[in-house]
Structure 1
Amino acid sequence: MSKQGFAGKSVLVTGAAGGIGRAAALAFAAAGARVAVVDVDAKGGEDTVAMIAQPGGEAFFVKTDVSQSAQVEAMVAAVVERWGRLDCAFNNAGIEIEHLPLADSDEATFDRVIGVNVKGVWLCMKHEIRQMLKQGGGTIVNTASVAGLVGAPLMPLYAASKHAVVGLTKTAAAEYGKAGIRVNSVCPGIIRTPMLERALEREPRREKSILKAHPIGRLGEAEEIANAAVWLCSDAASFVTGHQLAVDGGLTAI
């Protein structure tokens, strides 16, 4: 994506202190966007801002817990105060904190996973869409997962949360398409991120089976998901809305 593609546009990326979010923030900046870097991790978020600024990009950090309505509302307001509008939002913040069958799941874990992965995306869309309606349009991409397209044994709550993200995405696309707001989701396969590395540290034997699940023969990289999010937000995807883009190395093909 050339710098002309997002020149003058303001973009918000949640979960941008590392992993897919950081890769996306850097990719949007490389395409010419001004980027609001959002996360609960202030150190990681400021590091992402510094990485954008180093080659001359424009960014600032907004510390936000996406499960808290007042903080999300303030996040959108901060972007609008700084740049006058919000052109694109990549709602990427999410957690995965379980490795148990459904019957062994506990209520606290359910509340935490749904609170961040579902309520967080809903709150972000709610406030982003309100601003986009005021300004006459915009684009939103939500991070779902292949676990939002198929079942995910030992991750039932995560799978439920990502199926919910798909439902929110499709519904918002149907509701706001005529208002000039496109809403899509990206559905990563298994991506090499700090979250995955922590899981493999706990169970190193899982890597072989994970690799086998991807016909392409390798894990995905954060930059590959970032590129998909940038494309979905770009004018090149102007007729794409309500779509779940699987970037999964063929995992859902078999």
Structure 2
Amino acid sequence: MSDANVVNGVNDANAPRSTHTVRSAPVGLLTGKVLFLTGASRGIGAAAARLFAAEGASVVLAARGTDALDRVVKEIRADGGVADAVALDLADPASIRAAVGHVENLHGRLDGAFNNGAAIQRPGPLDTTSDEDVDTQFAVNFRSHWTAMNAEAALMRRGGGGAIVNTSSIGSRRANPALPAYGAMKRALNSLTETAAVSWAADRIRVNGITPGGTATEMIEAWEAATPGVVERINASTPLGRMAEPREIAEVAAWLLSDRASWVTGAIVPVDGGAGA
């Protein structure tokens, strides 16, 4: 059961991965928007940061890996974009609130948020999943979104509304024997996303989720090392026959954050190459 955060980037040139390359010209989809992204130092988050900036947004990137964040920020600025970085520990609610506060200090408002950061579970069956794994999954893959969404929504209300996109997982939609705690928290995130969409509709805040399937990003290498054959199984179970590139996932998030998705809220959108069909 792979997704954007379970499979976060393949650096090994010999590792199996998608060979598909996305080439789309920017169209100003997010022009003038201030966007906050978590898990933005690598994989889907970094791809989203580059894409959102190219589409005209001012982006504030958050993650624990500040060196990697700074590299992405420099790339975006070198291409003429507006980007800043802030350190973030998703397991610490105070750190999350401070990061959103940093966005307010920089820009005075928040138009959209891509809550993409997550923690991987040690792969293994339900009866060998440790209490520590469950606690980490709860703190990072569920509670962090609860905290972030509330802080983001509070800032968005002051600006008249906004949009939030949460990265869930294809593994949230069905039994997840290899990653049981991860799948459970991601399914809970789907429920939270839908509830927030209904609760905050009157505030003009749209809330949606995406459920990526196998994506060629860094953590797939670690998962493949721990469980050889994972990549082959992902490709075989995906009707399009390959894993996604990170930008292909980011493209869907960009659309959901844009005004072109103005009538979409409470949706949990599959982005899985047909694997969940």
TM-score with structure 1 length normalisation? 0.97
Q: Deviations over 1:16-57 (max 9, x none)?
A: 000000001111001000000100111111111111111111
Q: What is the alpha-carbon distance in structure 1 between the residues aligned to residue 52 and residue 244 of structure 2?
A: 19
CA RMSD in angstroms comes to: 1.2
Does 1:37 find its partner at 2:79?
Answer: no
Q: Please name the residue that 1:78 is paired with.
A: 102
Q: 1:106 aligns with which of 127, 130, 148?
A: 130
Instruction: Give 1:26's aligned residue.
Output: 50
Ranked by relative contact order (alpha carbons within 8 Å, sequence separation 6 or more), the top structure is 2
Report runs of 4+ in structure 1 exceeding 6 Å deviation.
Answer: none
3-state SS in 2 of match to 1:154: coil
1:1-254 → structure 2 map (5 Å cutoff): 2-253=26-277
Any conservation in 2 of the 1:88–1:140 contact (CA below 8 Å)? yes
1:147 offset after TM fit, Å? 1.1
Identity over aligned pairs, percent = 38
Q: Find the residue that maps to 2:86 and give its secondary structure.
A: strand
AA aligned opposite 2:178: L
Structure 2 gaps of 5+ residues are 1-24
Contact in 1 for aligned 2:121/2:181 (Cα 8 Å): no
Per-residue deviation, residues 127-166 of structure 1 (Å, max 9, x unmatched): 0011112221000000001111112121100100100110
Amino acid in the other structure paired with 1:17: S
**Structure in which a larger fraction of residues adopt helix:** 1
User: How many residues align structurally?
Assistant: 253
Q: Is the 8 A contact 1:146 1:246 kept in 2?
A: yes
**Cα-to-partner distance string for 1:197-216 (whole Å, 9 max, x where unaligned):** 22113333222211111011
Q: 5+ unaligned residues in a row in structure 1: which ranges?
A: none
Whole-angstrom CA distance in 1 between matches of 2:228 and 2:124: 17
Q: What is the CA–CA distance in structure 2 between the aligned matches of 1:221 and 1:206, rounded to whole Å?
A: 17
**Which shows bigger deviation, 195-204 or 235-244?**
195-204
Q: Distance in 1 between matches of 2:115 and 2:263?
A: 20
2:260 partner letter: A
Does the 8 Å CA contact 2:220/2:231 hold for their aligned counterparts?
Answer: no
Shift of 1:71: 1.2
CA distance in 2 between counterparts of 1:6 and 1:17 reads 20
Q: Aligned-pair distance for 1:3?
A: 5.0
1:2 Cα shift? Answer: 4.2
